Every structure is written in C-alpha cells, then in structure tokens.
Amino acid sequence: MSLISPLLGAVSGPAIARGTSFLKDKLGKPVFRTGVTIVDDPHRVRGLGSSPFDDEGVANRPWNLIDDGVLTTWLLNTASARQLGLVPTGHASRGSAGPAGVGPSNLTLLPGHLDQAGLMADAGSGVLVTSMFGPSLNSNTGDWSVGCAGFWFEKGELAYPVTEITVAGNLIDIFARLIPGSDLEFRGAANAPSILVDGLAVAGK
C-alpha cells in the first residue's frame, strides 16, 4: 500500500479544488492498466474502517475508485464538493482538531493472477522491496522516489539483500504499468497484494 497511498492524495477533493494533483485531468480516464480495480468499501463486515456514514454524517457507500483501470471519482467532503460543484461522496475524515479532510474507509487493491514468486519469475531480475522509508513526491507532476530495502533477485530467485537504495519514477507511468499479484491478505483498513512494476530507476550500492 505504500505505492498506492499517493493515489489517495492525488484524487482528494481538496487537492483537485486547489489544482495541485498530477491526476487532476484524469477523472473518467484510464489511470491503471485494464483489469486493475481498487475498492473502497465502508460497509465491509468487520472492516477496521467500516461505518454507515463519514465524519460529517454523510451516508457512504462502496466505491470502485479505480474500475478496470479507470478513475471513477474524487474523494469529496462537503467543502470540496461545494467548491467543485459536485455531490459529497461520503469520504470526510476528521482528526482530533480542525476541519474535516478526506480519506478512504476500507481500501483494497483487488488481486491479480500470479503470486509473488510468479511475479518475480515473470520479471526475471530486479528488487524485491520489503520496506520503504522517506518517500518524496511532487504532487503536481507525480515524480516520486523512496528509500528501500529488500532483496535483489535473478532469474526469479533471491540472490542477496540490499539496503539504503533509492527507487524512483513517475507515478503516472508507474500506475499505468502496475501488475497486482494474487497474494492478497487482509491485515488492516488498507490492503494490497504484491505488486510488480517495471522500468523504475534504482540507485545505491
């Protein structure tokens, strides 16, 4: 989900109203490859983010934020919906103080067909990322980089550990090429299987 979380900021109503999102012109257009679906379901049974309404009392419902690769909606609270001339989507999220922002409830990247081993075999060689730290994002362009640790693999097999490397790319390109794996596990309010992305810049010793 570390790779999917920048999507949430890019489709938030406040960011769209300010014009500070790299996806501001992508509503109703393909953002991911065909077959990729990201669901936000506030009514999932025993979901950690489940609720019948958002933090402004607006009734919510399940959304396919990404439906077969296509961006279908912004995340709107009442203020951003009013600014954009749209209807609130039930995504208001309020902290302990201050006005309501926006956020998802139970977010899930639906699984694909290959497990992690299958994705690695398909890639041949690359980095199996096991942790990310210190992400950097240009919200206007989608240029993104993050510190990583994990394992280098060759011919689909783990070769040696790597640490203190940087992975970088543009999220518009990353999302368009992203392939979800089949190993989805539900551990919290936001869940995703393993993810394969090609063509990223990798730097470090």
Specify whether the CB–CB gap between 181 and 118 falls below 8 A.
yes
Specify whether the CB–CB gap between 134 and 63 falls below 8 A.
no
As a whole number of angstroms, the distance between CA 179 and CA 23 comes to 19
Q: Which helix (H) or strand (E) holds 177?
A: helix 171-177
Q: pLDDT tens digits, residue range 110-145?
A: 999 999 999 999 999 999 999 999 999 999 999 999
Q: What is the pLDDT of residue 88?
A: 97
Q: pLDDT tens digits, residue range 57-99?
A: 999 999 999 999 999 999 999 999 999 999 999 999 988 777 8
Determine the number of helices (DSSP H) and then strands (DSSP E) in the chain. 5, 13
Q: What is the 3-state secondary structure (H, E, C) of 79-95?
A: HHHHHHCCCCCCCEECC
As a whole number of angstroms, the distance between CA 92 and CA 99 comes to 10
- Provide the 8-state DSSP code for 65: E
The pTM assigned to this predicted structure is 0.94
Give exposure, 32-65, as e/b (b: 16+ Cβ within 10 Å). beeebbbbbbbebeebebeeeebbbebebeebbb
As a whole number of angstroms, the distance between CA 110 and CA 59 comes to 24
As a whole number of angstroms, the distance between CA 152 and CA 159 comes to 6
